[in-house]
Amino acid sequence: MMSASMGKTVVLAVGEGFHLKRGKDRIVYAGMPSEDIYSIVQIKASGYQGYSWNLYFPRRKLDITIDGVDLYIENVTPEEIRFRV
C-alpha cells in the first residue's frame, strides 16, 4: 500500500513520457487497448542504444512498481493517466 505522503502527481496523455527518477527508466502512457486494461511503455536507454516494452495492467490495479519506483494510480482513461510518484 502506498504512503499518503507520496510526492507529486503526474498526468500523462497518450504518448507523453515521464522520467521515473535519476538512474531509472522512462515511461510513456500507451492508452487502453481494452476497457479493463491500461498500458505503460517502459523505456531503458544506455548511451545510443535502448529498448522498450509494453506493460499491461488491469484497470483496478492501482499500486504498481516500475523499475523499482512505486506508483499509485489515481485515475486512468483511454486519453490520460494520473498517478503519484
The strand pair at 17-19 and 9-13 is best described as unpaired
pTM: 0.88
pLDDT for 34-81, tens place per residue? 999 999 999 998 778 889 999 999 999 999 999 999 999 999 999 999
β partners of residue 51? 44
Asked if residue 3 is part of any domain, the answer here is: no
Asked if residue 30 is part of any domain, the answer here is: yes
Asked if residue 1 is part of any domain, the answer here is: no
β partners of residue 84? 9, 72
Could you tell me the residue range of the domain that residue 26 belongs to?
9-84
Grid cell for residue 81: 493517466
Asked if residue 2 is part of any domain, the answer here is: no
Asked if residue 4 is part of any domain, the answer here is: no
Asked if residue 22 is part of any domain, the answer here is: yes
Ramachandran assignment for 15, one of left (phi > 0), alpha (psi -120 to 50 degrees), beta (any other): left
Residue 68 contacts residue 27 (beta carbons within 8 Å): no
Domain count for the chain, please give it. 1
